[in-house]
Amino acid sequence: MDPQVRKQVLRKLTYGLYVAAAMDEFQAAADTVNWLSQASFQPPLVMMAVKKDSNLHALLECGAPVAINIPGADQKQLAESFFRPTQREGETLNGHRFRRGNTGAPILEAVPAALECRVAGSLPGGDHTIFALEVVDAHLHRDEPPLEMWDTGWFYGG
Amino acid sequence: MDPQVRKQVLRKLTYGLYVAAAMDEFQAAADTVNWLSQASFQPPLVMMAVKKDSNLHALLECGAPVAINIPGADQKQLAESFFRPTQREGETLNGHRFRRGNTGAPILEAVPAALECRVAGSLPGGDHTIFALEVVDAHLHRDEPPLEMWDTGWFYGG
């Protein structure tokens, strides 16, 4: 297999962009991710691949609930701000206000929609772990189209 | 949780459309799927959630290699033809010519790009199983933009 061709073909996959956010009493992690999809209707599950050496991974391994924040089409800058290490200051994460959802997971106030999830299982893959997440709550702040990876010029994959 | 809100929010997730195809000496299965994402760089893995009662699921459970065929932006009709039960006639699946890749998985001749994968693991979820698939070969027939779910007006999710 030609690794360059593999990279080109893997970059034909279509993605959204999401800010996956979790916190416990010691730390918070809010990372922009794209390796995420629904994985079941009943129960409602999503699957998300998370980098093994990340703080988000550590929190999920410990069973922290996680919010999948779904930025709107015009929120590329918001997504970009979560490429940086997570800094909590008061009720903000990397400068964006959040509230704790019913599970305690941090929901960004600016995003149009978010899911709250609990870890239902995991599959150790390669440099990322695949988490199966049960959707236990959902929030629709505004009915807007979401941010798509193709519209940003960014890639994560290949 | 309001199931209607959950459905609306889950339908904010962004997807591509792919024809996942596998065959053994007895049967072939080629299904249009969208619950698929890369899941690791090293080794290169994708994750795909597959309906439990499908022939594709049965083939993957038995370890059949699978091709992830990636239709081009103008191949909505090709994707639509794999909503139907799979019919093999000679070297065609639902009317579309295929060749066997290096793994033996069926690669549609009409699509611009395809991955060949082997099952590396699975996580029983709900009504779908999450398969971790190692990418073992990749084919780029033409460098074209892919078909995206948002462009079709279809939904699978919610």
With respect to residue A127, please indicate whether it lies within any of the assigned structural domains: no
Tally of domains within chain A: 1
With respect to residue B88, please indicate whether it lies within any of the assigned structural domains: yes
With respect to residue A11, please indicate whether it lies within any of the assigned structural domains: yes
- Cross-chain residue pair B39–A130, CB shorter than 8 Å: yes
Give residue B125's pLDDT: 85
* Nearest chain B CA: its distance from A142 CA (Å): 10
Q: How confident is the model at residue A83 (pLDDT cuts 50, 70, 90)?
A: very high
With respect to residue A158, please indicate whether it lies within any of the assigned structural domains: no
The phi and psi torsions of A57 (rounded to 5 degrees) equal: -60, -45
With respect to residue B4, please indicate whether it lies within any of the assigned structural domains: no
Mutate to test the interface with A, among B4, B34, B38 (most CBs of A within 10 A): B38
Q: How confident is the model at residue A85 (pLDDT cuts 50, 70, 90)?
A: very high
A157 touches chain B (CB under 8 A): yes
At A31-81, the pLDDT tens digits run 999 999 999 999 999 999 999 999 999 999 999 999 999 999 999 999 999
B1 touches chain A (CB under 8 A): yes
Helix (H, G, I), strand (E, B) or coil at B74: coil
> ipTM score here?
0.97
Please tell me the distance from the alpha carbon of residue B16 to that of residue A157, in angstroms, as a whole number. 14
Count CB neighbours of A114 within 10 A: 28
Give the closest residue to B157 by CA, choosing from A70, A141, A129, A88: A70
Residues of chain A contacting B114 with CB distance shorter than 8 Å: 9
Place of tokens 């000679």: B90
A142 touches chain B (CB under 8 A): no
Q: What is the mean pLDDT of chain A?
A: 97
With respect to residue B123, please indicate whether it lies within any of the assigned structural domains: yes
B27 touches chain A (CB under 8 A): no
For chain A, what percentages of helix, strand and coil (3-state, to nearest 5) are there?
15, 45, 40
Please, which residues 2-21 of chain B have a Cβ atom closer than 8 Å to chain A?
Answer: 2, 5-6, 8-10, 12-17
Give the closest residue to B38 by CA, choosing from A14, A46, A28: A14
What CATH number has the domain bearing residue A70? 2.30.110.10
Q: How far is CA B73 from CA A138, B34, B147, B148, in A?
A: 31, 14, 4, 7
Q: What is the DSSP string of chain B?
A: --HHHHHHHHTTS--B-EEEEEE-SS-EEEEEE--EEEEETTTTEEEEEEETTSHHHHHHHTT--EEEEE-BTT-HHHHHHTSSPP-EETTEETTEEEEE-TTS-EEETTSSEEEEEEEEEEEE-SSEEEEEEEEEEEEESS--PBPBGGGTT-----
- Cross-chain residue pair B38–A35, CB shorter than 8 Å: yes
**pLDDT tens-digit profile, chain B (158 residues):** 999 999 999 999 999 999 999 999 999 999 999 999 999 999 999 999 999 999 999 999 999 999 999 999 999 999 999 999 999 999 999 999 999 999 999 999 999 999 999 999 999 989 999 999 999 999 999 999 999 999 999 999 99
- Cross-chain residue pair B123–A127, CB shorter than 8 Å: no
With respect to residue A156, please indicate whether it lies within any of the assigned structural domains: no
Chain A CA closest to residue B5? A138
Pairing of strands A66-70, A113-124: antiparallel
- With beta carbons less than 8 A apart as the criterion, state whether B149 and B14 touch: yes
Count CB neighbours of A123 within 10 A: 20
- With beta carbons less than 8 A apart as the criterion, state whether B152 and B76 touch: yes
Please tell me the distance from the alpha carbon of residue A38 to that of residue A49, in angstroms, as a whole number. 12
- Cross-chain residue pair B2–A138, CB shorter than 8 Å: yes
**Token pair for A120:** 């239902």
Please, which residues 40-59 of chain B have a Cβ atom closer than 8 Å to chain A?
Answer: 40-47, 49
Please tell me the distance from the alpha carbon of residue A128 to that of residue B148, in angstroms, as a whole number. 25
Count CB neighbours of B12 within 10 A: 26
The phi and psi torsions of B65 (rounded to 5 degrees) equal: -65, 155
Judged against a pLDDT cut of 90, whether residue A145 lies above it is answered with: yes
Mutate to test the interface with A, among B12, B18, B41, B139 (most CBs of A within 10 A): B12
Q: Higher-confidence residue: A60 or A25?
A: A60
Mutate to test the interface with A, among B8, B40, B53, B142 (most CBs of A within 10 A): B40
A114 touches chain B (CB under 8 A): yes
Give residue A133's pLDDT: 98
Across the interface, of A1, A8, A49, the residue whose CB is closest to B47 is A49
Residue B131 is part of which domain span? Answer: 15-150
For residue A65, with 0-12 CB atoms within 10 Å meaning exposed, 13-18 middle and 19 or more buried, which class applies?
A: buried
Please tell me the distance from the alpha carbon of residue B145 to that of residue A47, in angstroms, as a whole number. 25
Across the interface, of B14, B34, B125, the residue whose CB is closest to A40 is B125
With respect to residue B9, please indicate whether it lies within any of the assigned structural domains: no
Please tell me the distance from the alpha carbon of residue B132 to that of residue A126, in angstroms, as a whole number. 10
